[in-house]
Amino acid sequence: MGIRGIWREVITAIEQSKEHYDRVNRYLSFGLDRVARTYAARRARIHVHSWILDLGIGPGTMVETLLTNTRNPRLVGLDYSAPLLRKAKRRFHGRGHLHLVRGAFETLPFKDHLFDAVFMAYALRDALDMAETLNQVKRVCKEKNGRLAVVDVGKPGNPVKRLLTSAYLLFAMPLIAKILTVRKFVGNPWRMIIPTYQALPTNEKIARMLSRRFEHLESRSYLFGGIVVFLARDPL
Ligand SMILES: C[S@@+](CC[C@H](N)C(=O)[O-])C[C@H]1O[C@@H](n2cnc3c(N)ncnc32)[C@H](O)[C@@H]1O
């Protein structure tokens, strides 16, 4: 499984949604997308002047949270999409220390062990190759106390929770997004949640992938496991 065959379509859908992305996702998640981002930003315990990489910066939603919840971070935002990088550039013009880089998760254009922390908010799910992305994250994280925070929609292993979250994500969510953006788009960019969610490994499998690369792992979930935060780190 994977999203290789539809990856470009996924990126195009995110690009189309960029002016409505924050508002619609807030409604769709009952505000919990922001709660989960804030939890990750605070719990990652970022020291002043740390180097932070936001992978899949998109329209900049996670960077907004990081600027509010960390002290003078040195931020690098990477994305494959030039239109989304331009949107982030406009959003953060004159605010804080942010470098924008065009690149792919699977071939990160950075030296080894450069970053104190890497964040992937609602982005790991869209990777072309999740295992290679995590290898690259591990490579660019500092060897001592390097941290990865993943915030994403989740697929619980428990069958009852899985039924609840899948029903909402696969049926209700695209419909509500369509209603919220009626007359704004010809199609519905949020329809791409369906194939990306179908291809998503379970929360337990993602936890195993992270545990193979980092020594400590903790997690928190919201909405019966439909939103998850993983915090992985190596010791000091
Ligand atoms: C759903 S958006 C997440 C935006 C933002 N991080 C947030 O907090 O909501 C996912 C982003 O990851 C980018 N992306 C997906 N796969 C990528 C890849 N393999 N390499 C680089 N960027 C990728 C997309 O272009 C998109 O901007």
Residue pLDDT, tens place only, 141-195? 999 999 999 999 999 999 999 999 999 999 999 999 999 998 887 789 999 999 9
DSSP 72-140: S-EEEEEES-HHHHHHHHHHTTTSSEEEEEE--GGG--S-TT-BSEEEEES-GGG-S-HHHHHHHHHHH
| Tens-place pLDDT, residues 56-103 | 999 999 999 999 999 999 999 999 999 999 999 999 998 888 999 999
pLDDT for residue 1 is more than 80: no
DSSP state of 235: -
Any idea which residue has 């994977």 for tokens? Answer: 2
d(CA 87, CA 91): 6
Asked if residue 57 has its Cβ within 6 Å of ligand 1, the reply is yes
Q: Which of 8, 11, 120 to mutate to test the pocket of ligand 1 (most atoms within 8 A of CB)?
A: 11
Is the CB of 58 within 6 Å of ligand 1?
yes
pLDDT of 108 > 70? The answer is yes
pLDDT, average across residues 200-209: 98
CATH superfamily placement of domain 4-233: Vaccinia Virus protein VP39 (3.40.50.150)
Q: What is the pLDDT of residue 182?
A: 84
**Atom from ligand 1 closest to the CA of residue 61:** 8
Q: Name the residue among 4, 24, 54 with its Cα closest to residue 191.
A: 24
Give the integer Cα–Cα distance in Å for 99 and 77.
Answer: 6
Q: At residue 233, what is the residue type?
A: R
Going by C-alpha positions, the residue among 137, 109, 140, 143 that lies closest to residue 210 is: 137
User: pTM here?
Assistant: 0.96
What are the pLDDT digits (tens) for 34-63? Answer: 999 999 999 999 999 999 999 999 999 999
* 226 and 165 Cβ atoms separated by less than 8 Å: yes
Decide: 127 in ligand 1 pocket, CB within 6 A.
Answer: yes
Instruction: Give per-residue pLDDT as tens, 19-32.
Output: 999 999 999 999 99
104 lines ligand 1 (CB under 6 A): yes
Ligand 1 near 81 CB (within 6 A): yes
User: What is the 47 CA–ligand 1 centroid distance (Å)?
Assistant: 25
Identify the DSSP state of 141. B
Answer with the residue of higher pLDDT: 120 or 72.
Answer: 120
pLDDT in the model for residue 45: 93
According to the model, what pLDDT value does residue 186 have?
Answer: 77
Q: Please tell me the distance from the alpha carbon of residue 153 to that of residue 162, in angstroms, as a whole number.
A: 12
CB-based burial, 168-186: b 16+ in 10 Å, e otherwise: bbeeebbeebbeebeeeee
For ligand 1, whether the C-beta of 92 sits within 6 Å is: no
At residue 97, the pLDDT reads: 87
Predicted pLDDT at 216: 98
Q: Is the CB of 207 under 6 A from ligand 1?
A: no
